[in-house]
């Protein structure tokens, strides 16, 4: 139950929203889909004195909900809902991993209200978008109360549990992701959850690029749910260049993940040991699926069953 009163503002433009943020300082909070903020307020874990509702911003004049593309990237407005990310034809074609990720979030009701921008700004360590966005080298565009824009790379955006690089008067406007549908490149997100529609105990995002001869050019794996911020598995990135991504290599990658994920988070849903073991398993699954999508022969056969 919400037991603290608050002032409600419904700005008509992004500029008005950031001016309100500046005016009210740290006691104000932006409201996007409300699927994280409102539960926190209901539980008494957040008590903003001002709520600045982004849903009333004029869609034609100042859109924050859109998906567009240029030759290199997709641009996704911060107020784009999980359902829109899941169903967007542009995202499905050029960045399948993001549609796949959105589809794993909660249930239809939450996906219809929750937004990609709200999700990354909330920066829950178990949030699903975090690992894939870091793995595909996404960038975040923000504006401040002087209407100055800046770009923050996903690697630098997540600072701590529920903490991002955004300043108090900044609004996230857009997420840019490099197009992923390149020849011999595949990506995948898989997650281990404690109930259907639940948060990730461990989420693994993998991006695999193959050379023309079928050997591995690059493999990146980022995990969510194991640390306060997404964990990029550097040993895997270093270890497979020029090698064949066969089952033996994938087993080796799983072991590297297990070794790199030292002392992961522990909570009522899963112990550290369990998360560590799941990191091994889900790293292997993510690489296997990404490699099959990139066209690796052995993994493709295995994925096809
Ligand atoms: C039952 C349930 C199950 C869920 N399961 C999952 C799950 O499996 N996986 C998962 O990833 N998530 C899950 N979620 C969370 C869901 O994805 C939320 O939609 C998301 O975390 C927050 O997005 P929102 O648009 O609702 O943001 P809000 O709740 O409105 O805001 C969240 C935070 O971000 C800030 N914010 C929002 N937009 C901006 C912006 N543009 N610029 C700057 N700051 C901003 C707000 O001030 C607030 O602090 C679940 C939620 C519920 C209620």
Q: Does some domain include residue 59?
A: no
Cα 247 to ligand 1 centroid, rounded to whole Å: 37
Q: Are residues 190 and 300 in the same domain?
A: yes
Same domain flag for 31 and 109: no
Determine the pLDDT at residue 80: 98
Instruction: Name 223's Cβ contacts closer than 8 Å, sequence gap at least 6.
Output: 131, 202, 203, 204, 205, 230, 231, 233, 257, 261, 279, 282, 283
Q: What is the CATH number of the domain that holds 117?
A: 3.30.465.10
Domain boundaries, position 22: 7-54
pLDDT at 277: 97
Q: What is the pLDDT of residue 304?
A: 54
Residue 1: what pLDDT? Answer: 67
- Same-domain pairing of 160 and 191: no
Q: Is the ipTM of this complex over 0.90?
A: yes
The pLDDT tens digits for 83-126 are: 999 999 999 999 999 999 999 999 999 999 999 999 999 999 99
Class of residue 63 by CB neighbours under 10 A (exposed 0-12, middle 13-18, buried 19+): middle
Asked if residue 127 has its Cβ within 6 Å of ligand 1, the reply is: yes
Assess whether 80 and 158 both reside in one domain. yes
Residues 156 and 74 both lie in one domain: yes
Residues in the chain where the model's pLDDT stays below 70: 1-2, 297-305
pLDDT of residue 88: 98
- CB of 198 sitting under 6 A from ligand 1: yes
CA dihedral sign, ordered 35, 200, 73, 146:
positive
pLDDT at position 301: 58
40 CB near ligand 1 (under 6 Å) = no
pLDDT at 196: 83
Considering the domain architecture, whether residues 30 and 123 belong to the same structural domain is answered as no
Answer yes or no: is the C-beta of 240 below 6 A from any ligand 1 atom: no
Nearest-CA residue for ligand 1 atom 3 is 106
Using CA atoms, how far residue 274 sits from 76, 173, 195, 261, 285, in Å, is: 35, 37, 16, 11, 16
Q: What is the pLDDT of residue 210?
A: 96
- Whether residues 90 and 191 share a domain: the answer is no
198 and 163, same structural domain?
Answer: no
Is 218 in the same domain as 172?
no
Q: Are residues 192 and 277 in the same domain?
A: yes
Last residue of a domain, one of 54, 76, 91: 54
Q: How many domains does the chain have?
A: 3
Same domain flag for 147 and 233: no
Asked if the structure places residue 61 within a domain, the reply is no
CATH number where 25 lies? 3.30.43.10
Residue 131's pLDDT is: 98
Residue nearest to atom 47 of ligand 1 (CA): 30
Considering the domain architecture, whether residues 162 and 231 belong to the same structural domain is answered as: no
Q: Is 128 in the pocket of ligand 1 (CB under 6 A)?
A: yes
């Amino acid at each position: 139950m919400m037991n603290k009163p608050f002032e409600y503002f419904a700005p008509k433009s992004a500029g008005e929203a950031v001016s309100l943020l500046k005016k009210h300082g740290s006691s104000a909070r932006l409201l996007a889909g409300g699927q994280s903020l409102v539960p926190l307020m209901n539980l008494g874990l957040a008590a903003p004195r001002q709520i600045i509702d982004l849903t009333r911003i004029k869609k034609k004049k100042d859109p924050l909900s859109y998906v567009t593309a240029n030759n290199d990237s997709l641009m996704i407005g911060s107020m784009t809902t999980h359902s829109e990310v899941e169903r967007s034809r542009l995202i499905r074609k050029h960045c399948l991993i993001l549609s796949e990720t959105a589809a794993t979030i909660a249930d239809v009701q939450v996906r219809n209200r929750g937004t990609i921008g709200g999700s990354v700004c909330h920066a829950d360590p178990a949030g699903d978008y975090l690992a894939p966005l870091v793995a595909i080298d996404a960038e975040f565009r923000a504006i401040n109360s002087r209407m100055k824009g800046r770009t923050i790379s996903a690697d630098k955006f997540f600072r701590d549990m529920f903490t991002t690089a955004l300043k108090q008067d900044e609004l996230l406007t857009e997420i840019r992701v490099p197009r992923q549908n390149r020849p011999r490149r595949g990506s995948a997100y898989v997650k281990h959850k404690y109930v259907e529609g639940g948060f990730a105990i461990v989420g693994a995002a993998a991006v695999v690029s193959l050379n023309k001869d079928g050997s591995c050019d690059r493999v990146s794996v980022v995990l969510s749910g194991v640390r306060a911020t997404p964990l990029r598995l550097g040993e895997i990135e270093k270890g497979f260049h020029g090698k064949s991504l066969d089952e033996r290599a994938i087993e080796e990658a799983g072991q590297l993940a297990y070794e790199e994920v030292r002392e992961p988070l522990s909570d009522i849903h899963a112990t550290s040991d369990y998360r560590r073991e799941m990191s091994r398993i889900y790293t292997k699954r993510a690489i296997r699926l990404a490699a099959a999508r990139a066209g690796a022969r052995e993994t493709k056969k295995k994925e096809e069953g």
